[in-house]
Amino acid sequence: MRLQALDEGSTDPEDVNAAFRAIHSIKGGAGAFGCTELVAFAHVFEASLDHLRSGRVAIEDAPFTLFLRCSDAVADLVSAARNDEPARPRPDLLEELEQVGKAPGEAPVAAAAPPPPPPAAPAPAKDEPPGVAALGNLLAMVEAKTASGSDAGWDDEPAKAAASKPGRDVILRIQPEADLFRRVIEPRVVFASLPADDIVSIACDLSHVPSLETIDVSDCFMRFVVTMRTELSIEEICSRFDFTLATEEFQIEVLASEAAPAPAPAAAAPAASGEVSGSVAADLSAILAKLGPAPAAVATPDIQPAAA
């Protein structure tokens, strides 16, 4: 157990990362099945472990005795959820976890309530790997939308509406770990945590899927690129994945707004010159030569006023 190794003196950052991912996966699975007590406890536990992962709390100063007690509490909550029994609240452990990473004498801040869990994913059959069930559900959705050769359900009107709404253009790159299905999480559960009206398009990258001879259907190899037009902040988008994805499983890029190109400065008019260029003078000479000599001027008659 990674927490046990850290308590015994290990300073390997990978032990911290593995412990964090384990609690994150438990929280994600609990959220998918609506185990609110387990989700709330794992949410605070995960935040404390994240202080170690980010370096805010040194591994040497971490309260691993507390973390081991919390690990036992998580096991009790999992057992209670599995047996459909009431969970034992642990406000004492939660209070201690909330102090991890705080400076001495810093006033405690009430922990923010975790966002509501996403819709529960259907549980896979007992004799079927979770990856098979997830792929089966996705195939069923595709077949339903392409039934009878029609394009029903794939029109781009919602995308056009999202693209024309106010907000910022955001590119969301989702790169889930291979154990996504084993955490009882499907891609559609991840997308359901985003505002449907903000999604412009979703593209699936299958370039990482191995050949059928070597594929393990319990692993997730899909990558996704989601284009959004949203007024949500970066922090608000991140909070939507609290129950499904770890921070290293997605990237958010805010696209710069396209500014109107500045008008090109008008070209300055050439300054007037009193001299005629040599080429122009030569052309004029050729034209005059073709016209020939000018006709003789007609003498103007000398008309005198009549005598009175």
Q: Bridge-partner residues for 89, per DSSP?
A: none
For residue 225, what pLDDT is reported?
94
Closest CA relative to residue 38, chosen from 84, 2, 83, 76: 76
pLDDT band, very low/low/confident/very high, at 284 (cuts 50, 70, 90): low
For residue 116, what pLDDT is reported?
54
pLDDT band, very low/low/confident/very high, at 290 (cuts 50, 70, 90): low
Q: What is the pLDDT of residues 96-115, one digit of tens each?
A: 888 887 766 555 444 445 55
* DSSP secondary structure of the chain: -HHHHHHTT---HHHHHHHHHHHHHHHHHHHHTT-HHHHHHHHHHHHHHHHHHHTSS-GGG--HHHHHHHHHHHHHHHHHHHTT-PPPP-HHHHHHHHTTTPPTTPPP-PPPPPPPPPPPPPPPPTTS-HHHHHHHHHHHHHHHHTGGG--TT--SHHHHHHHHSSSEEEEEEE---GGGGGGT--HHHHHHTS-GGGEEEEEEE-TT---TTT--TTS---EEEEEEEE---HHHHHHTTTTT--GGGEEEEEPPP-PPPPPPPPPPPPPP-SSPPHHHHHHHHHHHHHH-SPPPPPPPP-PPPPP-
Give yes or no for residue 306 having a pLDDT over 70: no
Closest CA relative to residue 46, chosen from 243, 251, 250: 243
- Spatial CB neighbours of 120, under 8 Å, sequence gap ≥ 6: 32, 33, 34
Token readout for 251 is 């990237």
Q: What is the mean pLDDT of the chain?
A: 73
Q: Hey, what amino acid is at 115?
A: P
Rounded mean pLDDT of 91-96? 88
For residue 254, what pLDDT is reported?
92
For residue 182, what pLDDT is reported?
81
Distance CA 168, CA 241 (A): 19
For residue 154, what pLDDT is reported?
43
pLDDT band, very low/low/confident/very high, at 227 (cuts 50, 70, 90): very high
Give yes or no for residue 228 having a pLDDT over 80: yes
For residue 298, what pLDDT is reported?
47
Q: Note the Cα 292 to chain centre separation in Å.
A: 81
Q: How many residues does the chain have?
A: 308
CB-based burial label for 132 (10 Å; 0-12, 13-18, 19+): middle
Contact 232, 198 (CB under 8 A): yes
Rounded mean pLDDT of 245-250? 90
pLDDT band, very low/low/confident/very high, at 286 (cuts 50, 70, 90): low
pLDDT band, very low/low/confident/very high, at 300 (cuts 50, 70, 90): very low
Weakest-pLDDT range from 34-43, 77-86, 114-123, 237-246 = 114-123
- Which domains does the chain show, CATH number per domain? 2-98 (1.20.120.160), 130-254 (no CATH)
Rounded mean pLDDT of 66-85? 87
Give yes or no for residue 52 having a pLDDT over 80: yes
Rounded mean pLDDT of 268-286? 53
For residue 111, what pLDDT is reported?
46
Rounded mean pLDDT of 212-240? 89
Query: Half-sphere exposure of 260 toward its Cβ, with a 13 Å CA cutoff?
Result: 3
Distance CA 170, CA 215 (A): 32
Give yes or no for residue 150 having a pLDDT over 80: no
